[in-house]
Structure 1
């Protein structure tokens, strides 16, 4: 018997976790059930509108972009997936080569159209996505001191930003927008094209790998997760570490003993003891 590792949903506040990640948490199952009940009610009343024209959404997103507000920032505020919003507008520099969506659900349109520049810039926001984007650029070989002109921030402040946001501190909304915009512009660019020497690129990549900073390709697998502080990236995490985490959850949350947890996971008790011991030693180090 083996344990099946299921891809974790980036968040649990929309139907996405149920439909795309096979999440079956009780709250998410109930959200899906209530949505179906509401759909059937509207169908009986003849008021069900599955889709509406997406042009107002596209125009609004483009207007926000022109004022320095990225679709990633809109996704973070509305709770929508980043990939969902990016489907309505072409990426910067793509021209008209990439097709865009022409229909949208009414509730999605309402959330996007309610976002304004004033509300976005009025408050500080969570810095998780800002930190992760900078770390992903470092994982691609970008040193902080060469990101300043692309992110609109000083090299020293970029380093401070990464350290500060690791402690759940907030960042200014316009700072988050600037980093998100720079991240999108650099995501397909090689640092060597900007005169960064190969040995510097290798050194930065090595340092990022030692810190287990996820790459851009990793974040592309989980739409919207890069801005979600509740999403824990399992980047370069071993099967033993995952097993230790699952075991602790069964013991601390489900109330099982180590022997019962081992039986639930299909592992021998001695192996469970070993992986937990290794995890404890690593945490202490």
Structure 2
């Protein structure tokens, strides 16, 4: 039995060497330099490797409450976004708990970020829902998106179900996650083959549009008035229009067909394929 070796998400600090067993020459040298500096500091009596991370965690929570996101903190400090996340919440996988200790350097970088309002409290949920749906349409299970957005996995599904507004922080975090993940394969992030298949099947059943569809309609992903026509057939459109005409105007199928410019049999077939629009009136 062999154990799969996890690939380091980046090669910018010591974690690729210590946590992922990376042995690239530059990463090995980075670790050796750190080790030599540590030993010199220990000999000189100046070594202070870790300090309490509580001030960092409290400051991050204030930043999040003001509208900052995990990704924004990562961009401003150069600290990996997943490491930033672990200061306020434990990892969903790999058994990593919340970070309780940190270094003076990391603390200084994070505390240097001013607490300033970034977004309003709640915003329209349209763009947030559509981005989650688009990621699911390329194989991301909903429960796997929670850690990337910075919210509980169950809350991802609630966003899709509920029509109420979402927090501005959640909206911005979803945008960050969408841009990071839209070109990544879920399997590279540990999502199982079965999980990908289920996500694809679920999104197909709901006809959720993938990122490529929204790329063809710039700005539409956040527009609540834009109606997605992804995988909507002409026959379904006819069924919808016929339903509206017959229930609103009161025409029969023959007159409705004439108004829509199709044969009556076309409306019959449209209602057969899409019975949710069926109107039982005189033929």
Residues 195 and 123 of structure 1: is their aligned pair in 2 closer, same or farther, counting only changes over 3 Å?
closer
TM-score (norm 2): 0.52
User: How does 1:18-97 map onto structure 2 within 5 Å?
Assistant: none
1:124 and 1:230 map into 2 onto residues whose CA distance is 19
Q: Please say if residues 243 and 278 of structure 2, whose CA atoms lie closer than 8 Å, have aligned partners that are also in contact.
A: no
1:147 and 1:216 map into 2 onto residues whose CA distance is 15
The aligned counterpart of 1:142 is 140
2:259 and 2:210 map into 1 onto residues whose CA distance is 33
Residues 130 and 266 of structure 1: is their aligned pair in 2 closer, same or farther, counting only changes over 3 Å?
same
Q: Please say if residues 271 and 278 of structure 2, whose CA atoms lie closer than 8 Å, have aligned partners that are also in contact.
A: no
The answer to whether residue 196 in structure 2 is matched with residue 201 in structure 1 is yes
The aligned counterpart of 1:238 is 233
The aligned counterpart of 1:162 is 160
Residues 122 and 203 of structure 1: is their aligned pair in 2 closer, same or farther, counting only changes over 3 Å?
closer
1:274 and 1:145 map into 2 onto residues whose CA distance is 38
Shift of the alpha carbon at 1:180? 1.0
| 3-state SS of 1:205 partner | helix
The answer to whether residue 269 in structure 2 is matched with residue 271 in structure 1 is no
Residues 159 and 281 of structure 1: is their aligned pair in 2 closer, same or farther, counting only changes over 3 Å?
closer
The answer to whether residue 217 in structure 2 is matched with residue 222 in structure 1 is yes
| 3-state SS of 1:209 partner | helix
Shift of the alpha carbon at 1:259? 3.0
State the superposition RMSD in angstroms. Answer: 3.1
1:129 and 1:206 map into 2 onto residues whose CA distance is 22
Q: How many residues align?
A: 169
Q: Render the CA deviation track for 1:75-122: whole Å, top value 9, x for unaligned.
A: xxxxxxxxxxxxxxxxxxxxxxxxxxxxxxxxxxxxxxxxxx85x623
The answer to whether residue 174 in structure 2 is matched with residue 179 in structure 1 is yes
Shift of the alpha carbon at 1:68? 5.3
| 3-state SS of 1:147 partner | helix
The aligned counterpart of 1:44 is none
Q: Which has the higher contact order (CA 8 A, sep 6+)?
A: 1
Q: Please say if residues 69 and 177 of structure 1, whose CA atoms lie closer than 8 Å, have aligned partners that are also in contact.
A: no
1:194 and 1:230 map into 2 onto residues whose CA distance is 34
Shift of the alpha carbon at 1:212? 1.6
| 3-state SS of 2:232 partner | coil
2:129 and 2:68 map into 1 onto residues whose CA distance is 22
Q: Please say if residues 271 and 277 of structure 2, whose CA atoms lie closer than 8 Å, have aligned partners that are also in contact.
A: no
2:171 and 2:278 map into 1 onto residues whose CA distance is 31
Shift of the alpha carbon at 1:192? 1.5
Shift of the alpha carbon at 1:189? 0.9
1:263 and 1:69 map into 2 onto residues whose CA distance is 57
2:250 and 2:174 map into 1 onto residues whose CA distance is 43
Q: Render the CA deviation track for 1:13-42: whole Å, top value 9, x for unaligned.
A: xxxxxxxxxxxxxxxxxxxxxxxxxxxxxx
* Structure 2 alignment gaps of length 5 or more: 1-66, 72-115
TM-score (norm 1): 0.51
Mark the structure with the bigger radius of gyration: 2
2:137 and 2:278 map into 1 onto residues whose CA distance is 23
* Structure 1 alignment gaps of length 5 or more: 1-65, 71-116
